């Protein structure tokens, strides 16, 4: 008896492992509510719509919960669909229109981004940059302190001939201290006005008198000047891509307007009608 039982168990286990896995796709039905079928695709989409905090929850935990939520939603939808108020019906129409319109714009925007379109946009950007007025960029370092005593100590150290970067590392409370106060390159308008004015008054190699701003006292050294050059593609690509997508969206809407019969019948209506929510009850 024991041998036969063991053989039966082994056969069952083998059958489980040997059973072919049925192919699944988005149309696989995972539940029915009356005549309405809920598919695996519905569950996949719902998972993608969950807030970020759900991303770490394993699928084996989420899957049954999502199926039950879809079932409950369908039960409620079926029970209430013919009871929607006029306002609720109009809201549903607006949400559906908005969703489809956004999907159309997203597809249009995505299709507009190609290596060729980005390269052409960058070339146009570079050409416009070259034709504009030359922009001066400043390479400066500074030492920032809060108190008058610290300001005087910085001035004294520099008067003694100590290296500016060394003094910055010792005294400056700015995040640039460990880089010797180096702020890198910047153009006019990127710094607060008093700081910028002090920088522009210097010649390369000169150090300013202490300049007071809302951040404290600055002692500034102008390191270099240069005419701004065209930024590399990687620095402006995000901006260019956004502009390509905006232009593609504008062009798509213009083409649709051109091809359609559109009548704007709102002229002459009182704008205050927008606030008359009671009209939805009529």
Instruction: Using the predicted structure, report yes or no on whether residue 12 has a pLDDT greater than 60.
Output: no
- Please tell me the distance from the alpha carbon of residue 63 to that of residue 66, in angstroms, as a whole number: 5
pLDDT category, 106, cuts 50, 70, 90?
very high
- Please tell me the distance from the alpha carbon of residue 281 to that of residue 278, in angstroms, as a whole number: 5
Instruction: Using the predicted structure, report yes or no on whether residue 17 has a pLDDT greater than 50.
Output: no
Q: How far apart are the first and last CA of the chain?
A: 80
Tokens 């060394």 sit on residue? 166
* Residue 104 burial (CB count, 10 A): 14
Instruction: Using the predicted structure, report yes or no on whether residue 128 has a pLDDT greater than 70.
Output: yes
Percent of the residues in the chain that have a pLDDT greater than 90, as a whole number: 85
Give the model's pLDDT for residue 156: 98
Instruction: Using the predicted structure, report yes or no on whether residue 67 has a pLDDT greater than 60.
Output: yes
Token digits for 100?
């489809």
Give the model's pLDDT for residue 252: 97
31 strand-pairing partners? 38
Give the model's pLDDT for residue 132: 83
The crossing angle, in degrees rounded to 10, of helices 233-259 and 86-112 is 130
Least confident piece of the model among 50-54, 249-253, 255-259: 50-54
Average confidence (pLDDT) over 202-212? 97
Token digits for 24?
């699944």
Can you give the pTM of this predicted structure? 0.67
* Residue 76 burial (CB count, 10 A): 10
Per-residue model confidence as pLDDT tens digits over 163-201: 999 999 999 999 999 999 999 999 998 999 999 999 999
Higher pLDDT among residues 133 and 263, named by residue: 263
220 strand-pairing partners? 142
- Please tell me the distance from the alpha carbon of residue 217 to that of residue 219, in angstroms, as a whole number: 7
């Amino acid at each position: 008896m024991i041998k036969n039982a063991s053989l039966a168990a082994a056969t069952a286990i083998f059958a489980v492992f040997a059973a072919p896995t049925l192919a699944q796709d988005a149309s696989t039905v995972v539940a029915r509510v009356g005549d309405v079928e809920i598919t695996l695709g519905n569950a996949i989409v719902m998972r993608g719509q969950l807030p970020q905090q759900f991303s770490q929850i394993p699928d084996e935990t989420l899957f049954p919960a999502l199926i039950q939520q879809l079932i409950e939603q369908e039960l409620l939808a079926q029970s209430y669909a013919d009871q929607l108020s006029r306002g609720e019906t109009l809201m549903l129409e607006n949400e559906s229109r908005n969703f489809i319109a956004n999907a159309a714009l997203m597809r249009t925007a995505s299709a507009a981004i190609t290596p060729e379109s980005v390269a052409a946009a960058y070339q146009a950007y570079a050409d416009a940059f070259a034709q504009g007025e030359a922009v001066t960029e400043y390479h400066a370092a500074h030492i920032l302190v809060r108190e008058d005593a610290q300001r005087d100590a910085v001035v004294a150290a520099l008067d003694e001939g100590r290296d500016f970067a060394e003094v910055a590392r010792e005294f400056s409370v700015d995040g640039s201290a460990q880089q010797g106060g180096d702020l890198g390159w910047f153009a006019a308008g990127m710094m607060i006005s008093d700081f910028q004015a002090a920088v522009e008054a210097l010649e390369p190699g000169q150090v300013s008198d202490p300049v007071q701003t809302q951040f404290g006292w600055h002692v500034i050294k102008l390191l270099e000047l240069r005419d701004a050059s065209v930024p590399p593609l990687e620095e402006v690509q995000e901006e260019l891509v956004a502009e390509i997508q905006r232009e593609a969206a504008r062009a798509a809407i213009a083409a649709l307007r051109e091809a359609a019969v559109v009548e704007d019948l709102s002229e002459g209506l009182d704008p205050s009608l927008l606030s008359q929510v009671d009209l939805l009850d009529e």
